[in-house]
Amino acid sequence: MLETDEQLVMKARGGDREAFSVLMVRYERPVLAEAMSVLRSWHDARDVAQDAFFTAYRKLKHLWTPGKFGPWVLQIARRSAWRYRKRRSYGACEAIPPDLPTRQTDLLNSDLPQDLLVLVTRLPDQERVVVMLRYLDGLQPVNISQVLGRPVGTVTKQLSRAHRRLRKWLGKEVDHEQP
């Protein structure tokens, strides 16, 4: 049976490093997506993700609600990414490597995956994170809401806005009005 975040956090607090490893594997891709949404650099996002997990491990005793590990570690990643970005004075968008480890999804099966990924990095922060979790990690909206600590309705609304924005940018705006 799959252990909950709360169970794993409690074990990790007790010194079980394997429990924390399970949490790392569970949240690796969302943390990377969060860092990528701020930094727009795959390599820097990996560094920030590693730092975020190290920070989370050190501060695990400060997590008041063990069942909220996902939103908490994403917040750590977001803050770490912004600090990293500020230190590095980012401005340019690094190309996303073609060997980005992802699941096969609608976004990546497109004829223009690189172009789409670049457009995704231009989305507003809230939309960018949910799109990356949905299409790069393959999470369903209900799972995204749990990871981000947002209501499911908010997640679906952000996905809808992002889809509309991406279609417009790709010149594929669909007219839904009746003739």
Question: Has residue 55 been placed in a domain?
Answer: yes
Mean pLDDT of the residues in the chain: 79
pLDDT number for residue 121: 75
pLDDT number for residue 89: 65
CB 21 within 8 A of CB 54: no
pLDDT number for residue 103: 33
Q: Give the C-alpha separation, 174 to 13, whole Å.
A: 51
Q: Let me know whether 61 and 105 are in one domain.
A: no
Full residue range of the structural domain in which residue 67 is found: 1-93
Q: Let me know whether 58 and 106 are in one domain.
A: no
Q: In this predicted model, what pLDDT tens digit does every residue of 80-115 receive, in sequence order?
A: 998 998 888 644 444 444 433 333 333 334 444 566
pTM greater than the 0.75 cutoff: no
Q: How far is CA 179 from the centre of its chain?
A: 40
Q: Give the C-alpha separation, 37 to 81, whole Å.
A: 9
Question: Among residues 26, 2, 20, 3, which one has the least CA distance to residue 61?
Answer: 20
CATH assignment at residue 58: 1.10.1740.10
Q: Give the C-alpha separation, 174 to 165, whole Å.
A: 11
| Domain final residue, candidates 93, 127, 160 | 93
Question: Among residues 69, 77, 95, 96, which one has the least CA distance to residue 38?
Answer: 77
The mean pLDDT values, 10 residues at a time, for the chain of 179 residues are 90 95 91 85 89 95 92 92 81 43 37 64 83 79 84 92 88 48
